[in-house]
Amino acid sequence: MTQTPPALRLSRITKRFGALTANDDISLELASGEVLALLGENGAGKSTLVSILFGHYVADAGEIEVFGQRLPPGDPKAALAAGVGMVHQHFTLADNLSVLDNVMLGTEPLWQLFSRRKAARARLLETAARFGLALDPDAQVASLSVGERQRVEILKALYRGARILILDEPTAVLTPQESESLFATLGQLVAQGLSIIFISHKLDEVLRVSQRVLVLRAGKLVSVRATHETSKAELAELMVGRSVNLPQRESRMPGERVLQLRAVSAHEAGKRLLDGLSLDVRAGEIVGIAGVSGNGQLALAQLLCGTLAASTGEVLLKGRAMAATPRDWVAQGVARIPEDRHAVGIVGDLPVWENAVSERLHTPAFSRCGIVRRKAARQFTRDLVTRFDVRLSGIEAATRVLSGGNMQKLILGRALSVAGEGGTPSLIIANQPTWGLDIGAVAYVHRCLLDAARQGAAVLLISEDLDELFAIADRVAVMFKGRLGEARATEHWTRAQIGLAMAGSAAATEVADAA
Amino acid sequence: MRLEARSEVSRGALLLAPLAAILFTFLICALLVAWAGAPVGRTYALLLDGAFGSRFAIAETLTRATPLILTGLAAAVAFRARLYNIGAEGQLYVGALAAVAVGGLHGGTGFDLAPQLLFPLMLLAGALAGALLLLGPAWLKLKLGVDEVVTSLLLNFVALLAVSMMLDGPMKDPLAMGWPQSVAIMPELEFAKLLERTRVHSGLLLALGLSVLMWLVERFTTFGFALRAVGANARGAAFAGLPVQRTVLCCALISGALAGLAGVGEVAGRAGYVTLDMSPGYGYAGIVIAMLAGLHPLGVVLAACFVAAVLVGADSMSRVVGVPNYIADVIVATALLAMLVAALLTRYRLRWGRA
Amino acid sequence: MMDFLTTLADMLASVPFWIATLRIATPLIFGTLGVLVCERSGVLNLGIEGIMVAGAFTGWLAVFHGADLWTGVLVAALTGALCGLLHAMLTVWLGVSQHVAGLGITLLASSLASFAYRVSFPKVSTPPTIEPFAPLTALQGIPLIGPVLAAQTALSMLALLLVPLLAWIIYRTPAGLALRMVGESPAAAEGQGLDVVRVRTLAIILGSMLMGVAGAFLTLSAFNAFFFNMVNGRGWICVALVVFASWRPGKALLGALLFAAFDAAQLRLQQAGGILPYQVYLMLPYLLSIAALVFMARRAAYPQALMKPYRKGER
């Protein structure tokens, strides 16, 4: 009797992008019915590896076998046909189409004269029932919650009869409770014989769901461990490869009220984005805003960066009503770190020095009578680059070529110098400031925020990463559907309570009250 | 086939791109010349000779280049802020019309003002007319998200009909024997000739001066920075506190004014009055010129001279060999598409095989 | 006021008015459907103006050289396909600016048509003519609309039939779903094993073929010869009509008919000799298109990926 082949075998996969080796000679096997965790930092090569597996990239060397059959490289269709399903971190769904449309696409011969929608709907409902994933096939994707969208993504793969499911950072956008329900679904899938690759950089989850853990670092496979034989500490060290001191919050006495929101609401195109927000942020404290993506955090950040106007209510900075223009906020010494470095934080095609001064170009420091003081601007940029350790080829280079970490340092440097030479910002608005950064850069950003708070800045930190909030925030409030809950001292929250609040459950506040 | 982003764009590649595009264009168009039954080498030689072969030829090329520099600048500055102004043709005509409205010999005499006063008024009127015509599309784009390409294009037809209406009505030249032609401009307001016995006029100096001015503005001023930032990433520019809407509206005013001035130049420098065939597509050619120049205001001068040379050369060539002068339009259009590809290749590398 | 209303009622009841409306609408229907197919796949095709000129010319030239009328239509469609392929190479394969590439194609196609016309007919001063499509007099017997249809040619009928056909394809077939998906979310389409580049390329080619036929209608049915300025902005109007139609074939038909009815009405007013100069009436179609764009600006549900080039692996 021959041995049954593994569900998936990658042999000696190597992939280079120019000078960067994203995957260096990586081999792995996935058994039937196994959950294999792929652990690694941002930029360790996890995404590249699964992109190769799914046919989005072609490896420079190496082979892939699915159930003993060699997979032709660079062909997503072949991967799908072989039973490989993929759930991306950023969902790939068409918002304006129905769930059924999204699931059916590509499952029928393209030139068939009509779609067999009735049969497809029956099969979708049957598949959904079998795996316990309830969904309305006719709902528009745009009307679904984040958790429901993820279910559609999983159903897309199951509908096609996937035997191997790859989930890329699936919990990044979920509440703790939604994550639990996802883990339960994964259990059901495995029980029915599916194999799963679970990609994450969160150690607790990895320990929770997987049988084996495979650790990637800088494109190399550094270790494979059976989950029950390893520990959080060991995995952390394997993943990072060095010890990183993540800064922790320290107790400080909060000072005067810097930012006050009084029943603030905001609308855009007839849609209510913010609904009666009230919040105080005092000098020297870090207030965290938690919430599932898309519950108004972006609007709150825009409000406090001067790019969105409140329709009712008061926005006061040190008692002064603020105008909805970035210039007013910058002039008052507000440091602003946007959620999307590339799309909002910088203008990628312009040189580094122009981006470094863009917020304050109109001030006498950098222009006179509409003429840019190029010498002063360049000198300022050179100082900033040195002070914040931005690595670059030169300040004339286009800003888009900077790495994520260096780009964030540039934005951080620009924001923190709003108060001019040697001054501390009065308020820092940081929206997801560590998203997509490696652990060294995360530590750097956290240290900057903590240092600024110690020097008297009020900090508002918006984050979808609960670990980050628990690590550095003094108080945390939860946003849900444009409303903001009460900001409580971090030690008064448990993960479960925050999770319930993120899902909009009123029970969360009651539990917290009882505590 | 796939594209791989280059990490750095070399200055040499930027200079080489238009030359490569032009070379490619002439190679492709050689096929058409051959199809028309003419010897390719001789045809191109005649074209070159017609554009640069004599004092007269060079003067004609420079005369043609004058409006082209201005419409090229109009497109370049607008495209820089990603405002796709395709309406330069209409803006040119209303600019010309406004020039005649201010400086024309209405009722045989015209306005009773000193020429020193009337001349700047005429320039201003032309610039303003062009600027206002683009203000509408720019405003609709900003406030309602209406695609400015389609609106500015459609306004070309409206503008031309409006001009035709004026030439039939209040501005009709009674002595033109029924030809749709406006009254002439006052002789005192005509641009001075730069070279004797040619048509080169001081509008050329105006165009060159404005090119340099636009270059200085884009490079050294806060407005120029805002213009570039808004074009490259409007959301990023808005976050940094740049006045995005004001920048786009100012850009629209400048772009429309430049195209309007092209019309003034054609009236006051060359024709002396407005006709309906005054511009053989100068407005559209401006787009090609802006792209060939890589949107650089000084590059626009060279690109405009190239297009002018093709137009003038083709006219003179087609009189000798039997190649229709429409070849000039084909060359200009092909150059635009070739330049699009060439500009892409300065930023991306073509790779064969899959990622 | 009463006077105006009776005039209006008279006009709406008159057969010639509706004959003119349908004739004016036909090229707009072809063109609008062509733009619709391209834009549903996520690509703006401003080449339409030039493609219509080129289609008008090549279709007519084929018939002039002895081909039958339907072969002429086919030649026009193939001309459109060729222009569409070029547009797809530039905007889909290479991902250059769709605005500028489309304008470039318009400039190229119309200048090539003029050039080829002059090479083919160097000396003629009056444009040579062909025998165009004949009216379908057999349809006279249909109740109510018979007299209107009987004055039309087969190409108009084809345009009317295309509307439900295209609606069926877009909403009821796997190919239509693929088309909508690449226009809404190319990444999702790619993830389901679809080749985004191929779907978009085919969509642009198909759409451009319809634009070519729109041009051919002018030389093979509406008129019998080729003139240099015969398209005269109709292509741009189609681009506006697609927005007005919210990218739906049925509404595109409605929009084209509505627009044509206005155009037919202004022609009658113009002939009736109004107090306004004739140019004012001629401006109406263009102003109407702008008004349609403004009216729909806040309502239109644009295909999400329209004008966003898709490059694999780029976010």
In tens, the pLDDT along A366-393 reads 999 999 999 999 999 999 999 999 998 8
Give per-residue pLDDT as tens, A211-245.
999 999 989 999 999 999 998 888 888 888 877 77
How many domains does one find in chain B?
1
Per-residue pLDDT, C315 = 39
Residues lower than pLDDT 70 in chain C: 1-2, 273-274, 312-315
My answer on whether A67 and A151 are in the same domain is yes
Chain A residues in contact with chain B using a Cβ-Cβ cutoff of 8 Å: 18, 56-58, 73-74, 305-307, 325-327, 330, 336, 338, 343-350, 354, 358-359, 361-362, 367, 370-372, 374, 397-398, 401
In a 13 Å sphere around the CA of B25, the CA atoms on its Cβ side amount to 29
Helix (H), strand (E), coil (C) string for B285-352:
HHHHHHHHCCCCHHHHHHHHHHHHHHHHHHHHHHHHCCCCCCHHHHHHHHHHHHHHHHHHHHHEEEEC
Q: Contacts of residue B330 in chain C, CB cutoff 8 Å?
A: 108, 111-112, 115
**Contact: C177, A76; criterion CB under 8 Å:** no
Q: Is the pLDDT of residue A132 over 90?
A: no
Please state the length of chain B. 355
Q: What is the pLDDT of residue B14?
A: 87
Classify residue A120: in a domain, yes or no: yes
Token representation of residue C218:
């002018």
The reply to whether A19 and A142 lie within a common domain is yes
- Tell me which chains share at least 3 CB pairs under 8 Å with chain C: A, B
Question: Tokens 């925020």 appear where?
Answer: A449
Q: Domain ends where: A240, A270, A305? A: A240
Answer yes or no: is C177 within a domain: yes
> Within a domain: residue C315?
no
A348 is written with which tokens?
């990628």
Helix %, strand %, coil % of chain B (to 5): 70, 5, 25
The nearest CA of chain C is from the CA of B202 a distance in Å of 30
Judge contact between A166 and A85, C-beta under 8 A. Answer: yes
Q: Where are the alpha helices (DSSP H) in B104-221?
A: 115-144, 148-168, 203-220
Q: Which residues contact A361 (CB under 8 A, 6 or more apart)?
A: A354, A367, A372, A377, B222, B225, B242
Arithmetic mean of pLDDT over chain C: 92
Contact A330, A418 (CB under 8 A): yes
B238 neighbourhood in chain A, CB within 8 Å: 307, 326
Is there a domain that residue C258 lies in? no
Q: In which element (H, E) is residue A11 found? A: strand A8-17
Residue in the structure block whose two tokens are 């016995």: B197
What is the radius of gyration, based on Cα positions, of chain C?
20
Amino acid letter for position C187: A
Choose one of A206, A240, A274: the last residue of a domain: A240
Instruction: Give the neighbours of chain A: at least 3 Cβ pairs within 8 Å.
Output: B, C
Helix H, strand E, coil C: the string for C24-81 is HHHHHHHHHHHHHHHHHCCCCCCCHHHHHHHHHHHHHHHHHCCCCHHHHHHHHHHHHH
The string of pLDDT tens digits covering residues A408-465 is 999 999 999 988 766 889 999 999 999 888 888 899 999 999 999 999 999 999 999 8
Q: Amino acid identity of A432?
A: Q
Residue owning tokens 């076998």: A65
Interface of C with A (CB under 8 A): 168, 172-175, 177-178, 180-181, 184-185, 187-194, 301, 304, 312-313, 315
Count CA atoms closer than 13 A to B151's CA, side-chain side.
25
Higher pLDDT, A191 or A507: A191
pLDDT the model gives residue C146: 87
Same domain, A128 and A234: yes
Number of domains, chain A: 2
Q: Which amino acid, C125?
A: S
Length of chain A: 515
Q: What values do phi and psi take at A85, rounded to 5?
A: -115, 150
- Measured between beta carbons, the chain B residues lying within 8 angstroms of C105 are 337
Containing structural domain, residue A187: 8-240
* Alpha carbon distance A364, C232 (integer Å): 53
Mean pLDDT, chain A, integer = 90
Tokens at B340, concatenated: 């699009």
Q: Which of C229, C286, C201, C202 has its CA nearest to residue C52?
A: C229
Kindly indicate the confidence band of residue A512, based on its pLDDT and cuts at 50, 70 and 90. Answer: very low
Residues A449 and A412 in one domain: yes
Nearest to C193 among A76, A95, A112 (CB): A76
> Distance between CA atoms of C35 and C256, rounded to whole angstroms?
13
Mutant choice from B157, B172, B321, B352 vs C, greatest count of C C-beta within 10 A? B157
Listing DSSP states for B91-103 in one string gives HHHHHHHHHHHHH
Q: Does C82 touch chain B (CB under 8 A)?
A: no
Asked if the model's pLDDT at residue A511 lies above 70, the reply is no
Nearest CA in chain A to B240: A359
B-contacting residues of C 106-165, CB under 8 Å? 107-108, 110-112, 114-115, 118-119, 122
Q: How many angstroms separate the Cα of A12 from the Cα of each of A15, A35, A60, A220, A274?
A: 10, 21, 10, 11, 51
- C313 part of a folded domain: no
Model ipTM over 0.85: yes
* CA atoms C279, C280, C285, C287: torsion sign: positive
- How many angstroms separate the first and last alpha carbons of chain B? 9
- The SS3 assignment for C82 reads helix
pLDDT value at position A2?
53
Q: Do the domain assignments include residue B195?
A: yes
**Which one-letter DSSP state was computed for residue B172?**
B
Token pair for residue A501? 């609040």
Q: Which of A217, A209, A133, A116 is nearest to A171 (CA)?
A: A209
Task: For an interface test with C, give the residue of A105, A117, A342 to mutate (most C CBs within 10 A).
Answer: A105
Answer yes or no: are the C-beta atoms of A124 and A137 closer than 8 Å. Answer: yes
Read off the CATH number of the domain in which A102 is found: 3.40.50.300
Nearest-10 Cα torsion for A349, A354, A355, A358:
-130
Whether the per-residue pLDDT at A1 is higher than 60: the answer is no
> Is residue B341 domain-resident?
no
A285, pLDDT greater than 60? yes
What is the CA B240 to chain-centroid distance, rounded? Answer: 32
Q: Which residue of A has its CA nearest to B347?
A: A349
Domain boundary among A240, A273, A302: A240
**Does the structure show a pLDDT above 60 at A36?**
yes
Residue numbers of the domain that contains C65: 14-121+133-230
> Residue B352 has what pLDDT?
74
Residue of C nearest to B25 (CA): C108
Contact A348 B9 (CB under 8 A): no
* CB crowding B225-254: b at 16 or more within 10 Å, else e: bbbbbbbbbbbbbbbbbbbbeebbbbbbbb
Query: Shortest CB distance from C173 goes to which of A105, A106, A114?
Result: A114
CA distance A408 to A405: 5
HEC profile of C108-169: HHHHHHHHHHHHHCCCCCCCCCCCCCCCCHHHHHCCCCHHHHHCCCHHHHHHHHHHHHHHHH
Q: Are residues A177 and A296 in the same domain?
A: no
Q: What is the pLDDT along chain B (355 residues), one digit of tens a residue?
A: 778 778 777 888 888 999 999 999 999 999 999 999 999 999 999 999 999 999 999 999 999 999 999 999 999 999 999 999 999 999 999 999 999 999 988 877 778 888 899 999 999 999 999 999 999 999 999 999 999 999 999 999 999 999 999 998 888 888 777 788 899 999 999 999 998 888 999 999 999 999 999 999 999 999 999 999 999 999 999 999 999 999 999 999 999 999 999 999 999 999 999 999 999 999 999 999 999 999 999 999 999 999 999 999 999 999 999 899 999 999 999 999 999 999 999 988 887 765 5
- Largest CA-CA distance found in chain A, in angstroms, rounded: 86
pLDDT at A515 over 50: no
C243 inside domain = no
User: Is C312 within 8 Å of C190 (Cβ atoms)?
Assistant: yes
CB B104 within 8 A of CB B274: no
| Residues A147, A173 share a domain | yes
Total number of domains in chain C: 1
> Does residue A261 sit in the same domain as residue A235?
no
The reply to whether A236 and A272 lie within a common domain is: no
CB-CB under 8 Å, A112 with C191:
no
* Domain coverage including residue B221: 37-323
Regarding whether A179 and A309 lie in a shared domain, the answer is: no
**Contact between residue A484 and residue A279 where contact means Cβ atoms under 8 Å apart:** yes
Of A12-26, A325-339, B260-274, the poorest mean pLDDT is in A12-26
- Please check whether residue A167 is in contact with residue A128, taking contact to mean a CB–CB distance below 8 angstroms: no
Chain B interface, Cβ < 8 Å to A: 7-9, 220-223, 225, 228-229, 232-233, 235-242, 353-355
Do A126 and A195 reside in the same domain of the chain? yes
pLDDT tens-digit map of A68-108: 999 998 888 899 999 999 998 888 999 999 999 999 998 99
Q: Is residue B187 part of a domain?
A: yes
Nearest-CA neighbor of B337 among C36, C87, A85? C87
Task: Please give the DSSP secondary-structure letter assigned to residue B186.
Answer: P
Cβ pair B239:A74 closer than 8 A = no
Residue B14 lies in a domain: no
Contact criterion met (CB below 8 Å) for A71 and A78? yes
> Which pLDDT belongs to residue A166?
94
Nearest to B140 among C86, C111, C294 (CB): C294
CB contacts, 8 Å: C118 with chain B: 324, 326
Nearest to A338 by CA among B233, B122, B177: B233
Residue B130 is predicted with a pLDDT of 98
A369-384: string of b/e by CB count within 10 Å (b at 16+)?
eeebbeeebbebbeeb
Indicate if A266 and A232 belong to the same structural domain. Answer: no
Residue B198 lies in a domain: yes
Q: Are residues A458 and A486 in the same domain?
A: yes
Q: Can you say whether residue A84 is alpha, beta or left, with left for phi > 0 and alpha for psi between -120 and 50 degrees?
A: beta
**How far apart, in whole angstroms, are the C-alpha atoms of residue A471 and residue A176?**
17
> How close does chain C come to A343, measured CA to CA in Å?
11
Q: Answer whether B154 sits within 8 Å of C279, measured CB to CB.
A: no
Tell me the three state secondary structure of residue B192.
coil
Residue of C nearest to A94 (CA): C185
